[in-house]
Chain A
Amino acid sequence: MPDLSIHIAGLHFKNPVTTASGTYGYGDEFRDFMDLGKLGGIFVKAVTGKNRDGNAYPRMAETPSGMLNSVGLQNKGVDHFCHEIYPKIKDFNTHIIVNVSGSTVEEYVEVAERINELDNVPAIELNISCPNVKLGGMAFGTVPAMATEVTAEVRKVYKKVLMVKLSPNVTSITDLAKAAVDGGADVITLINTLLGMAIDVERRRPILSTITGGLSGPAIKPVALRMVWQVHKAVHVPIIGLGGIMNATDAIEFLLAGASAVQVGTANFIDPTVSVKIVDGIEAYMTRHKVKSVSELIGALRTE
């Protein structure tokens, strides 16, 4: 049987398939559909310092091969997460990784410090790439100096594996990846959603209440793959790739481009069991190609 397990920044994952923050709730919502223990890890919904109501309705528009969202980091804040959510999810048989968001460096640091105290959370994913909040979010992920600063400040208080999730809404993704690594990132996650918009021509109005929103789904997969490939060549930390992964073939493309693991996002909305199917599909591919360990696939793209 092929070995799907992988080490990322010293952390052991039973397989390279995880679920993307904001598409998998806190995991609990999927327990009727699948065995969470089959996943490499779960990236739970973004946590901020205080309660956030998020943006007004409408927050979603279906677009060709994808969707736009402008949820705006709706969550009940880090206190609520630590006291109400964490006790319910801490014993899942998979890694629980918390997506940490904020509007200021201080907020990121505050949340990271609190999550650092949670024994069963082995890593955080610093979200410097949310396009749907007025302050912070993507601003930290589009200016290299700011990416370095926020990562470095969080690095001072966060003692476990620090992942930084990058925005694709930049001219040079490698500059941002290097900036995050300079700040102390152990792992780079990419990509967050692409900034986009949709228009209702009958009403001559934007469909989203925020006018613009984040595009996800298969529509962004080629952009995500290209960025994973570029970052893989530019930095020496592991990469977790995401963007439009709908099946095992998509996931394998990300591994070949240089990702050590993948996140399944929007596909969870359409098939809540898809992540398990992707694990099985990677295993079948490895058997078919006589690949003994999944690590042999990482960055194994042939370009000559």
Chain B
Amino acid sequence: MELKKLVEDLQVVDNTRLNHRHFILELLAPEKFPLILPGQFVQVLVEDSPSTFLRRPFSIHSVDYQKNTLRLLIQIKGPGTAQLSKLKSGDHLNLIYPLGNSFSLPFTKDVLLVGGGCGVAPLLFLAQFLNQNNIHPTILLGFRTKEEVSEIETYSAYGKVLVITDDGTEGEKGLVVDHSIFQKERLEFKKIFCCGPDAMMKAVAKIARMHRIDCEVSLENTMACGFGVCLCCITPTDKGNERVCVEGPVFNINRLKWQ
């Protein structure tokens, strides 16, 4: 398998509604997948949505090489994602993929994954990848409320799952950084992978720095192309303004100007 970017039509084989604003699309590729790594994303062309001019980037939620399918976990935010939520089995979707860099394979088995809201999307694929390398991470997932808690059984196959909700209707109550695993003098983890809203990732990064734990985050950014030519999705790093779509979306927090 080689690292090659494709632009092609994939067939929708399943569209599962998780709750009132999240759904999962399962897409079948016409030919054998190229190598896809956890943390990479796709650029989706949204048809029949007049106000959606550019493609929409989504993290890859999971990949099944046997079935040649990949899944996208999508939150309905505007007309584009609303249009995607209406797709049916048999419909086609044009993707540019796989894009961006990936989470790194850690040199430790003491790994924590932290996801919030739609930011949980790349963590399932990452958990699968870690399992293949004999790493069984702790997976902390934050949701707004019980109704949005989903796929816990799926994640549980790959590691110990902890849940926290903003309103305490399931698991612990609060933001992910309020979870009891962080309220210890010494944390048992040597590596944290995190994806979610900016404020959440910054809060997790602060904890990681305090405890000297290596931490990678997956950034979200508005982008036009997704493959490095428009230079719109930059983030300031130790090497100047870097492209989230090529040098990222995964960055080690030591490289970001978050301090």
Partners in one complex: yes
The 8 Å CB contact of A272, one of B4, B96, B240, is B96
Select which of A22, A29, A266 is within 8 A of B228 by beta carbon. Answer: A29
Instruction: Report Cα–Cα, A65/B241, bound state, in Å.
Output: 28
User: A266 to B228, alpha carbons, bound, how many Å?
Assistant: 13
Interface: A271 (CB within 8 A): yes
Q: Out of A32, A51, A67, A269, which one reaches B4, CB within 8 Å?
A: A32
User: Do B234 and A269 have beta carbons less than 8 Å apart?
Assistant: no
Knowing A269-B225, A270-B55 touch, does A60 contact B230 (C-beta < 8 A)?
Answer: yes
- Does A268 have its Cβ within 8 Å of any Cβ on chain B? yes
Let me know if A60 and B232 touch, CB within 8 A: yes
Q: Is B24 an interface residue (CB 8 A)?
A: no
B213 within 8 A of A: no
Q: What residues of A have a CB within 8 angstroms of the CB of B5 in the complex?
A: 32-33
Q: Which of B183-224 contact A (CB under 8 A)?
A: 221-224
Please state if B234 and A57 are interface contacts (CB–CB under 8 Å).
yes
B7 touches A53 (CB 8 A): no
Which residue of chain B lies nearest to A34 when distances are taken between CB atoms in the complex? B7
Q: Does A293 touch B at the CB level, under 8 Å?
A: no
What is the interface of chain B mostly: helix, strand, loop, or mixed?
Answer: loop
Chain B residue with the shortest CB-CB distance to A71: B231
Given A60-B224, A66-B53, A67-B224: A54 touches B229 (CB 8 Å cut-off): no
Picked from A32, A59, A63, A268, the residue with its CB within 8 Å of the CB of B232 is: A59
Q: How many of chain A's residues touch chain B, expressed as a range?
A: 20 to 34
> Could you say which of A22, A33, A53, A270 contacts B54, with CB atoms under 8 Å apart?
A270
The interface residues of chain B lying within 8 Å CB-to-CB of A266 are 224
Instruction: Given contacts A22-B230, A23-B230, A45-B231, list 13 more A-B pairs with CB under 8 A.
Output: A22-B231, A24-B229, A30-B229, A53-B240, A57-B221, A58-B232, A61-B222, A69-B224, A69-B230, A71-B232, A74-B231, A270-B53, A271-B7
Chain A residues proximal to chain B, CB less than 8 Å:
22-25, 29-30, 32-33, 45, 51, 53-54, 57-67, 69, 71, 74, 217, 266, 268-273
B residues sitting closer than 8 Å to A (CB atoms) are 4-7, 45, 51-55, 96, 221-236, 240-241
